[in-house]
Amino acid sequence: MSQFDVVVIGAGPGGYIAAIRAAQLGFKTACIDAGVNKAGDAPALGGTCLNVGCIPSKALLQSSEHFHAAQHDFTEHGISVDGLKFDAAKMVERKDAIVTKLTGGVKFLFQKNKVTSLFGKGSFKGKNGDLWQIEVDNNGEKSVVEAKQVIVATGSVPRPLPLIDIDNVNVLDNEGALNLTEVPKKLGVIGSGVIGLEMGSVWKRVGAEVTILEAMPIFLAAADQQIAKEALKVFTKEQGLDIKLGVKLNEIKNVEGGVSVSYEAAGEQKTETFDKLIISIGRIPNTEGLNAEAVGLEKDERGFIKVDGECRTNLPNVWAIGDVVRGPMLAHKASDEGVAVAERIAGQKPHLDFNTIPFVIYTDPEIAWVGKTEEQLKAEGVEYKKGTSNFGANGRALALGKAKGLIKVLADAKTDRVLGIHMIGPVVSELVAEGVMSMEFSASSEDIARIVHAHPTLSEVMHEAALAVDKRALHG
């Protein structure tokens, strides 16, 4: 029976990073994962993010943006494209190649860092003295390894919708939405969160008629509402996404030629038939098959593994990270938790602040934020001041042909310390890092305003927004 210092269950962005960091710190480390490639004939590391989540969705978003630009934007640059065609199967093929490259990259990193990769489903079997026994089930072929420390990083799975089962034929989850090889004429999406908006955007750009049905009465409830309202305007009035809010679903059923959805919206009863329907109503922690109950691993009322502020569970030397524990379900949050746990096992004192974790939605324009929203500050009774600046006056944005959106900086009214930064615009997924850095180092809005930003760049909009906090914007 093999013994390890650290065994990680799950090789997603939390698990594989935790395993690599543990190995770097000198621990004999193994990582257990049951992921397989799209064909189902070989192991594939990287979890949901690399295989059917973050990475493939960005590949499709980029392809669809190129097609849309060639159709609608190239002419203003003096570029004419005759006989433009779109090949959905080729787009998916490119996406698959990127996934294969990156999952293979994780395998290489394991070899480089001497992490033992074990294929199969990992579950708790019991204890042998101070060592945890972990069973590895490789399609019925079982083995057991022992570990001084265990890190659970089993991630999350799509939240099911009771009205209908997902078959990934006509009723799709995120994986099915990523693998359509033909453009549906009518696409329905249940849920206007990250997955719903991103996948709806992909297929809208390449020709689908897209309707998004959202139960919440407000759009992007987690985002700053000034940004959310700007996004809703762009997505609906300019891009043609049909987004319905406050929807109550009544019935969903498979019918000839598609999926029928009956729902109530704005006081009206409606029934629509879609060629394909994407279910994207969030995700739930994945603890199935972990055998948590047998060893007394505690979970909360929502199914998340209970942990303290340092990711320790109620069991000695058992940790949990990522989507399977509290906090935002974000790949980068999982990765940083994985690093932190490995370093804590080594006796170090790492720091991870949930208040400075960035959020990004990769629509066009992109949406990103870090810190508190205006709504949260008002609810908490915090006195604040704000500054905003639009991309419409930014030379680089105009040159790119992407001048929609704005950046907003929120700062404490007395100390000027940055409390939140919110943005919608071109590649704000990259710009938000300046906001994270500012908040991590307790910067004031004046600190950002005093930093020289290169010209012409999109980052100048951040500079202007910081200047605007003190009512001294120079270009707005």
| Residues tagged active-site | 455
219: tokens are 């759009």
Q: Is 154 assigned to a binding site? A: yes
> Is 462 annotated to bind ligand?
no
CA distance 269 to 272: 10
392 is in an annotated binding site: no
Token reading at 419: 């409390």
Tokens of 55: 């990475």
The full length of the chain comes to 476
474 known ligand binder: no
- Looking at residue 283, its amino acid is R
Strand ranges, E, within 74-164: 116-119, 121-128, 131-138, 141-152, 156-158
Q: Is 440 annotated as a binding residue?
A: no
Is there a contact between 54 and 174 (Cβ–Cβ < 8 Å)? Answer: no
Longest dimension (CA), the chain: 73
**192 annotated as belonging to a binding site for a ligand:** yes
393 is in an annotated binding site: no
Asked if residue 415 belongs to a known ligand binding site, the reply is no
43: exposed, middle or buried (C-beta count within 10 Å: 0-12, 13-18, 19+)? middle
266: alpha, beta or left, given left = phi > 0 and alpha = psi -120 to 50? left
Give, in degrees to the nearest 5, the angle at Cα 215 between 212 and 221.
95
Is 96 labelled a binding residue? no
* 58 assigned binding-site residue: yes
Q: Is 156 annotated as a binding residue?
A: yes
Tell me if 432 sits within 8 A of 360, measured CB to CB.
yes
Q: What's the CA gap between 210 and 190, in Å, rounded? A: 11
Measured CA to CA, the distance from residue 220 to residue 174 in angstroms comes to 19
310 annotated as a binding-site residue: no
Ligand-binding site membership of 323 (annotated): yes
Residue 246 marked ligand-binding: no
Detail the residues annotated as belonging to a binding site for FAD: 58, 122, 154-156, 323, 329-332
Which residues belong to the annotated binding site for NAD(+)? 191-198, 214, 282
Binding residue positions: 58, 122, 154-156, 191-198, 214, 282, 323, 329-332
